[in-house]
Amino acid sequence: MEQVAPKNNFHVSIIMTGSPGVFEPANIGGISVRNRFIRSATHEGMADTAGAPLESLEKLYVRLARGGVGAIVTGYAGVLPQGRCCFPGMLMMHDDALVPAYRRLVEAVHREGSPLIMQLAHCGSQTRSAVTGMRTVAPSPIRDRYYSEEVPQELTEAGIREIIDAFVDAAERAQAAGFDGVQLHLAHGYLLSQFLSGHSNRRRDHWGGSLENRFRIVSEIMDGIRRRLGKYPVLAKINGYDGMSGGMRQEEAVKIAMMLEASGCSAVEISSGTIAEGLAIMRGPRVPIDALLVANFKVAAVPRFLRSGFARILPLVSPSSPKPYHSYNLDAASVIRKAVSIPVVLVGGIHTFMDASRAIEDGAADFVSMSRPFIIEPSIVKRYEEGRQDASKCSMCNDCAIMIEKEPLRCWNGRVRQGV
């Protein structure tokens, strides 16, 4: 890909010190990537009820690819109906019948020069049986602080084996559909992340206790994929820490990254937080109160005559994001990068050109990935490349993150107004 001449002094300094620039091509486990920018997995709500991608998703990915992104990671795709999220339009990869629809999607993205990686997930107890029609499951029967309607069922040995097979089968389907690789979702409190975290995994059998035991489910998935698909690229998104009492600490995340590397993982993306922590995963200066009032299932459960009182209390009781709002997983990524030799991808608040170039120049990460900046501006990378390097237009209002409970993904730019 053509290299664009540096347009400012900061970028010149990157080139003079010999550090890789953000526009330098690179490779992830055999996937050629034209620059260091990745679209981080973002649920789009653009699948039909079977979980097959809609035309709107193809249009979105084509816009992202034309906009210069290095690689796209899909929104999370469910490996089993039991692990489906409770938002509409989730991608699914649990059935061979879905493969032809994905093949068309992949071909369209490849024509525009971008690799496409499918994120595979099981939501564990971060979903609702009222939506999936199935009891939620988890490593241990601990009520989720956010999805608190039900106590998840503790997984049996057979249940765990079924989930391992489901991830391996889904990876095989992704390969058959032409995806350049898969990313295992081991972050944000979903099922595999629940196994890794001592907060949610209280098991005393060989799936719990020591870090090696908590990692066993991931290790078996990796082994299964390696046995069946050889060197097919498998990436992972992990929490650098999860903020839960007795949960994942940074030292454990370093060991998990090393275990992933040893198991043949191609790259590790560093995030943090769980859904129960509110907006710790996607931080921002304000709680999206109006969007919560319009779209959130917990608010919908409040009787109508109590809603306006509730609307006044909500801002007082809703947890706001921890600070900082920019590059908030940088420290964790940089510590992990020193411990592994596979590429490290940094996500979380990379909302200025400086956030991105500093992470790469300082050696904290090999790639940066972004979610919200691409929602408001799918061609942000092209703009940066052309030298227009103003910050993302995203105001971190987080209306997008709440409104996906109701509608397909779009940027609301703080304009959702409550319909109490």
Contact residues: ligand FMN, CB under 6 A: 40-43, 75-76, 119, 185, 187-188, 237, 271, 281-282, 347-350, 370-373, 400-401, 404, 409
Name residue, tokens 């590059």: 327
Nearest approach, Cβ of 410 to ligand FMN (angstroms)?
9
Specify the residue, 52 or 350, whose C-beta has the smaller distance to ligand FMN: 350
Whether the Cβ atoms of residue 77 and residue 116 lie closer than 8 Å to each other: no
Nearest approach, Cβ of 38 to ligand FMN (angstroms)?
10
Specify the residue, 59 or 161, whose C-beta has the smaller distance to ligand FMN: 59
Say if strands 26-28 and 31-33 run parallel, antiparallel, or are unpaired. Answer: antiparallel
Nearest approach, Cβ of 185 to ligand FMN (angstroms)?
5
The C-alpha atoms of residue 167 and residue 228 are separated, in whole angstroms, by 12
Whether the Cβ atoms of residue 179 and residue 119 lie closer than 8 Å to each other: no
Specify the residue, 212 or 407, whose C-beta has the smaller distance to ligand FMN: 407
Specify the residue, 15 or 93, whose C-beta has the smaller distance to ligand FMN: 93
Dihedral (CA of 87, 91, 93, 95) sign:
positive
Cβ neighbours, 10 Å, residue 180: 24
Specify the residue, 297 or 310, whose C-beta has the smaller distance to ligand FMN: 297
Name residue, tokens 């990796």: 222
Nearest approach, Cβ of 77 to ligand FMN (angstroms)?
9
Question: Catalytic one among 76, 102, 190, 241?
Answer: 190
Nearest approach, Cβ of 360 to ligand FMN (angstroms)?
15
Closest Cα partner for 162 from 83, 107, 241, 231?
Answer: 83
Q: Is 147 a catalytic residue?
A: no
DSSP H helix total and E strand total for the chain: 16, 14
Say if strands 77-78 and 116-121 run parallel, antiparallel, or are unpaired. Answer: parallel
Whether the Cβ atoms of residue 224 and residue 306 lie closer than 8 Å to each other: no
Specify the residue, 78 or 152, whose C-beta has the smaller distance to ligand FMN: 78
Say if strands 181-186 and 116-121 run parallel, antiparallel, or are unpaired. Answer: parallel
Nearest approach, Cβ of 206 to ligand FMN (angstroms)?
27
Show the tokens assigned to 311.
């609307």
Say if strands 116-121 and 71-73 run parallel, antiparallel, or are unpaired. Answer: parallel
Q: Which residues are part of the catalytic machinery?
A: 190
